Amino acid sequence: MKEEYNFGIVGCGSIGIRHCDVLSSLSDAKLVAVCDPIKQKADEFASKFGVKAYYDYDEFLKDGEIDVVSICTPSGMHAAQTIAAANAKKQVVCEKPMALSLEDCDAMISACSRNNVRLFVVKQNRHNEPVRILKEAIDGEKLGRVYMINANVLWNRTDLYYKQAQWRGTKEFDGGALMNQSSHFVDLMHWFGGNVKSVYSQMGTFKHDIETEDTGNVLLKFENGAIGNINFTTCVYDKNMESSVTVLGTRGSVKIGGRYINEIEHWNVEGMESPVLKEEHRPNDYGFYQGSSANHDKYYRQVLDVLTGKAHNSTIGSDGRKAVEIILAAKKSAELGMPVELPMR
C-alpha cells in the first residue's frame, strides 16, 4: 500500500482550482497533472501549480504517474469520465452530484467495482463542525426519536453566474438548482434521517433564463416515519441568505445554519449544553459568488486515509446514488403533481 498518492485533476474551473489548492497543501498527496479541453485553462493551472497540462482526456488517463483522478467537470460529464478513469485503473474522486441519472450512477459503481478501484463522491459538508456534532447527537440518540428534518438552501446566483459557463442551468450538464446547488443538503437529509420512502415536490423557474428550475420545495417521508422538507432557490436578492438544517426529536431540537451551515443557531437538547465551535468556518469563495463551506481539505484527508488503510470510505458511490435518486424522485413528482415512491422503478 502506497504512502503517497499522485493526483490528476480534470476540469480547470472554479471547483477545480479548489481541489488543486488543497492537494498542493497535503504532505502525502501530490498534484501531478491537470486536464481541460480549453488549452488556456489547462495551461494556466499547469503554470500555477507546476504540473503537466493535458487537453485530451484519453491522453491524460494514459499518464502512468497518476494514481487518482479527481473529476471537477460539469455534472453531465461525470459518468463517462468516471467510467473511463476506472477502466484505466485509476482511483476516482468525483464532485457532486455523482451523475444526472440512476443509470449513470449504476454504471459508475459497476465500472469501479469491476476494475477494483475506489469511487469517492465529494461530500465535504459532512465535515462541517456543526454537521459532525449534530450527526453524533442523532446517532447517540441524544435527541430521542427524530420526527422532523427541515433544510433551507436560500442562495443567490446572478444571471452572470449562469452566463459565465454555457453548461450552467442546462438539463444535460447542470440538472437544476436541486441537483447542483442543493445536493449537499439532500445528502445531509439522508445522512441524518435514513432512507426516504416517498417524495412530493413543487418546482419552478422564477428569475433566471435557464432550462432548469431555480426554486422549489420537497416534502420527504422517511422509512422510519419521520417527515422532512427542503426549501431551495438561487433567486435570493443580492447575496446568499441561509443554508440550514433543523432536526426535531422527542428530547431535543437543533438548528445548524448561518449562510454555509457553519453555525449552531439553536441547541436545546436534554442533558446537553450547547457545544462551542472550535474551528474557523469559511465558504468556498468563487469571486462573484460563494458556495458551501471550504472543507475539501478535510475531505481529501479522509480520501488519503482510506487509500492508505487508516479509515473506511464513508462517501461511497451508493451514498452519491441515494442523493441523486431523491433528487430525481422530486423532479418526477414536480412533473406529475403527485408523490413518488422510492426506490424508483
Same domain, 148 and 189: yes
Q: Final residue of a domain: which of 103, 124, 145?
A: 124
pLDDT digits 0-9 by tens, 85-110: 999 999 999 999 999 999 999 999 99
Q: How many CB atoms lie within 10 A of CB 139?
A: 10
Same domain, 330 and 194: yes
Q: How many CB atoms lie within 10 A of CB 241?
A: 15
pLDDT of res. 250 = 99
- In total, the chain counts a number of residues equal to 345
What phi and psi values does residue 43 have, to the nearest 5 degrees? Answer: -65, -40
Residue 136 lies in a domain: yes
- For residues 95 and 314, what is the distance between their CA atoms, to the nearest angstrom? 15
pLDDT digits 0-9 by tens, 250-307: 999 999 998 789 899 999 999 999 999 987 666 556 555 555 667 899 999 999 999 9
pLDDT of res. 50 = 99
Same domain, 250 and 145: yes
Same domain, 114 and 180: no
Residue 41 lies in a domain: yes
Which candidate, 60, 252, 62, 324, places its Cα nearest to that of 71?
A: 60
- For residues 221 and 342, what is the distance between their CA atoms, to the nearest angstrom? 10
- For residues 245 and 254, what is the distance between their CA atoms, to the nearest angstrom? 8
pLDDT digits 0-9 by tens, 53-68: 999 999 999 999 999 9
Same domain, 119 and 154: no
User: What is the DSSP code (8-state) at residue 126?
Assistant: G
pTM of the model as a whole: 0.95
Q: How many CB atoms lie within 10 A of CB 1?
A: 6
User: What is the DSSP code (8-state) at residue 156?
Assistant: B
User: For the chain, what is the mean pLDDT?
Assistant: 95
Same domain, 110 and 141: no
Range of the domain at 282: 126-292+316-341
Same domain, 116 and 165: no
Residue 329 lies in a domain: yes
**The pLDDT of residue 125 is above 70:** yes
pLDDT of res. 287 = 57
Q: Can you tell me which residue has the cell 422517511?
A: 222
